[in-house]
Structure 1
Amino acid sequence: MSVVRVALLLALGALLPFSVSEEVVCYSDFDERSGGCTQYLGEGVSEGDCCLNIKYSFKRDPGAPCESCRPAEWSEWSLWSPCTVSCLDGVQRRDRVCTGQGDCQGNKVEVRACSLQNCCPETGGWSSWSAWTVCSVTCAEGTKQRTRKCDSPSPQCGGSCAGSSVEKVNCNTQQVCPTHGAWGNWGLWGQCSESCTTEGSGIFPVQTRQRQCNNPSPSLVPPGRPCGQESRQVQDCTSLPFCPVAGGWGAWQPDSECSVTCGIGRIREKRLCDSPAPKYGGRHCEGSNTRQFMCNTKVGCPVDGKWSQWQPWSPCARLQENIACSTKVGTQNRKRECEGEKYGGKWCESHHRESRNCYNVDGCSLDEKWSEWGEWGLCSPPCGKSERTRERVCQPVYPDYPETTLTQTGKLVDVFFSGTPRVRCDPINKQTKKVEEKEECKNVIEC
């Protein structure tokens, strides 16, 4: 990198509104699942400079835990764990990790009920043993066996019988068998007569190997057959190298500029094994042919903006007119903010404000009905004694008002009911607003 460019980057860095902070160990990546720092960049850089790129991470000292530069956010949920039991009712668990600067809102662990099969295995019983088979050989010692079946009774739900279905014992024919000779394995090839060859001579050193007739040796009484073919082999050493020349490193040469245009990056140098180059199998140069140094651009990396949650809808109203509990159409608005954009990052796409047409039923007396039972919730707490809940709620029955209306421009749009009406359903277990049902989660992991 040129002297002029380095001076320019340092000058720009001095103008940026970065606060002075302690020196840290800087990394260019962060593993969300393990919470570890990866891709080491270097030490002796401030926390503010390291976090010019929010994708980076750092340690306050080499033995400290890893911290991410990005704002606090949850990782993806892990996969559900295996069911705690293989039959009947159990539970599964999953978790996620909060990484970044600050605290995350919400649960770290979730647990749900599970069942792999509706019955548990039952063992069966063995039948009586069959008769013994004849001996497996006609001389020396062999084996004989008998069998039985797992059907008295048969196992249920994937069960089995304890023990083996086959029993084997030794049997002796009282007859001696002849032993025929067989070659043992070839021994290793011996050393070549020379360690290298003369280029272009066409003459090669030789090496030999041997084997013995001892796998097994032939018996004398009764007589066994001896081994055939040769017991010794000779071959040329055709793959010997020419006499080696060891390699030597050349001088270090620049190989790149700073690897990034913002935040912390690297500069690389390289060298060649050519002073001299290795020849004929000679030792190659030891060590790395590249090395890297940390570089600091003092420039913040772009951070794109993200939309906040929508704010609540404003009250449904119509200019200088009371429209509550009537078929008169009003309007309501809500907005959201684009947060976090800096260092030239992208502004949020789409609109920050929206409106809709509405009927104002806030505080109005409407007919009501009980909803159906909802889905079962998660097991809580996620360990120890745990239970899950579902509920029914008293819902308003909205009047049969027109579902659409025409705007001043002649466009047909939807109309929504807005506000909290007054409803009171017939009591269920003395409750008129909401009723709950709870159930114990079985086989939950101990805390």
Structure 2
Amino acid sequence: MEGAVTSGLLLALCWALAPSADAQEGLCYEQFGAGKCKELLGEDVPKADCCLNPDYGYQPRAGAPCQSCRQAEWSDWTPWGPCSVSCREGVQRRSQTCQGQGQCSGGLRRRWETQACSLKDCCPVMGGWSSWDPWSSCSVTCAEGVKRRIRRCTEPAPVCGGSCLGHNSETVPCDTNKICPTHGNWGSWGQWGPCSATCSPEEAGPKPKQRRSRVCDSPPPSFSPPGFPCSGSASEDQSCTGLPFCPVHGGWSDWQQSSPCSVTCGMGRVMEKRLCNNPAPRQGGNTCPGLNTRSYFCNTKIPCPVDGRWSEWVEWSICTRPGYTGDITCQEIVGQQKRTRVCEGRSPDGKRCVGSYIHIRSCYNMFRCKLEGQWSDWSSWGLCIPTCGKNP
């Protein structure tokens, strides 16, 4: 029925202008998805060659909008955006983008859909603080510390996610009038001493060592009251590193083709590899600089299959009741409406469209019919006005 709101959702369409015509030569990409080109295949490629594969993307020049080689069609809906309010009823929206060569329905670029949303059925109400609890004891047994007291957000308690303004605790300084002991702490480690040998043996066995030390003076432990001495060792040893071995730096072998053309239609890639074995790095030598793979594009000059795609649905037919000889206009009699669509653009070796070409639904023929209104139940009584004062 015209003017009806489907499933309680308010639908709205917002359209943007279509893009300008493509140039003849530009940048060819192996993939096109989610409205973006991916994996550059080649530059200065004729558009006709690039679009032998309808799954590719095409860009007339760097920085220009990227378009799919397919005929224009609407993208999937984006996820629903956030609700416009944090409590009670608001709205959220999502959009579709026209992608591909040519124009989508209406010759425009983008459309929007909105729906009602509600994150919470109620809005937050602030609470009130209880009285402060008594102060706690001092947090330390010597020198200065703090005392703490707390209160609770219960008078009244907040409603629907509300809270109380301010903090639920307070602290104040306190002094025990007692001196605390000073515990020892290690100073920084000194420099490593020389190695016990000038080279490292290749066979298994003891390795050359070097030593460093530290002093318990940051600070030293107090005598009265007595503090704890530093824990742990005043020195440590480690094996020497970097003793001479001649490094051998790696070198690349010749490039070798590792795969044929990646596609049997349209444009693809040929991969080449090389090994870091001429010579291989050893004894701490540097590995080979640069990449071990590279690719260049290949053109089969063979068009790729094009799968069929559904056209837009045509308008719903007039609501009628099949086999019923009377007129159901403005009658509470269930009828039927139908609409159809066409599978377009399929090449002989492409896939057929998935799904049905026809859509049938139940309806009532109530367009511009006069219907008698009916009162709802009375709402609750409002507050008395005025709220105070003498009776007349």
TM over 0.5: yes
In 2 relative to 1, CA 337–224 (structure 1 residues): closer, same or farther, beyond 3 Å? Answer: closer
In 2 relative to 1, CA 277–129 (structure 1 residues): closer, same or farther, beyond 3 Å? Answer: same
| Structure 1, 122-131 or 232-241: larger mean CA deviation | 232-241
Normalised TM-score (structure 2): 0.72
In 1, Cα distance between equivalents of 2:55 and 2:29:
9
Normalised TM-score (structure 1): 0.64
Deviations 1:59-110 (A, max 9, x none): 1112222111011111111221221111122111111222111222377111
One-letter amino acid of the counterpart of residue 52, structure 2: L
One-letter amino acid of the counterpart of residue 248, structure 2: V
The residue number in structure 2 matching 1:37 is 37
**Which of 289, 300, 307 is the equivalent residue of 1:286?**
289
The answer as to whether partners of 1:241 and 1:281 remain within 8 angstroms in 2 is: no
Show structure 1 runs of 5+ residues with no match.
Answer: 1-20, 315-322, 327-333, 355-369, 372-392, 396-423, 430-447
One-letter amino acid of the counterpart of residue 31, structure 2: D
Do structure 1's residue 70 and structure 2's residue 70 form an aligned pair? yes
Deviation at 1:237, TM superposition (A): 3.7
Deviation at 1:240, TM superposition (A): 7.0
In 2, Cα distance between equivalents of 1:123 and 1:190:
67
One-letter amino acid of the counterpart of residue 74, structure 2: W
Show structure 2 runs of 5+ residues with no match.
Answer: 1-22, 318-322, 327-338, 374-392
In 2, Cα distance between equivalents of 1:426 and 1:266:
68
The answer as to whether partners of 1:77 and 1:96 remain within 8 angstroms in 2 is: yes
Q: What does residue range 131-150 of structure 1 map to in structure 2 within 5 Å?
A: 131-150=134-153
Deviations 1:353-393 (A, max 9, x none): x9xxxxxxxxxxxxxxx95xxxxxxxxxxxxxxxxxxxxx5
In 1, Cα distance between equivalents of 2:194 and 2:56:
57
In 2 relative to 1, CA 160–194 (structure 1 residues): closer, same or farther, beyond 3 Å? Answer: farther
The answer as to whether partners of 1:53 and 1:301 remain within 8 angstroms in 2 is: yes
The residue number in structure 1 matching 2:345 is 340
In 2 relative to 1, CA 210–176 (structure 1 residues): closer, same or farther, beyond 3 Å? Answer: same
**Which of 193, 201, 204 is the equivalent residue of 2:207?**
204
Deviation at 1:217, TM superposition (A): 2.4
Deviation at 1:211, TM superposition (A): 3.5
The residue number in structure 2 matching 1:394 is 366
Deviation at 1:216, TM superposition (A): 4.0
In 1, Cα distance between equivalents of 2:141 and 2:354:
89
Deviations 1:310-358 (A, max 9, x none): 88999xxxxxxxx9949xxxxxxx9975531226324568999x9xxxx
**Which of 105, 118, 127 is the equivalent residue of 2:121?**
118
Q: What does residue range 45-84 of structure 1 map to in structure 2 within 5 Å?
A: 45-84=45-84
**Which of 153, 167, 171 is the equivalent residue of 1:168?**
171
The residue number in structure 2 matching 1:153 is 156
How many residues are paired up?
A: 328
In 2, Cα distance between equivalents of 1:308 and 1:86:
39
In 2 relative to 1, CA 271–118 (structure 1 residues): closer, same or farther, beyond 3 Å? Answer: closer
| Structure 1, 261-270 or 181-190: larger mean CA deviation | 181-190
Identity %: 54
Secondary structure, counterpart of 1:394 in structure 2: coil
Secondary structure, counterpart of 1:48 in structure 2: helix
One-letter amino acid of the counterpart of residue 25, structure 1: L
Kindly report the root-mean-square deviation, in angstroms, between the aligned alpha carbons of the 2 structures. 3.6
Deviation at 1:281, TM superposition (A): 2.5
The residue number in structure 2 matching 1:386 is none
In 2 relative to 1, CA 147–311 (structure 1 residues): closer, same or farther, beyond 3 Å? Answer: closer
Deviation at 1:222, TM superposition (A): 3.4
Deviation at 1:152, TM superposition (A): 2.2
Q: What does residue range 21-420 of structure 1 map to in structure 2 within 5 Å?
A: 22-32=24-34, 35-105=35-105, 108-183=111-186, 197-200=200-203, 202-214=205-217, 216-227=219-230, 229-237=232-240, 242-306=245-309, 308=311, 325=325, 338-342=343-347, 344-346=349-351, 393-394=365-366
The residue number in structure 1 matching 2:330 is none
One-letter amino acid of the counterpart of residue 82, structure 2: P
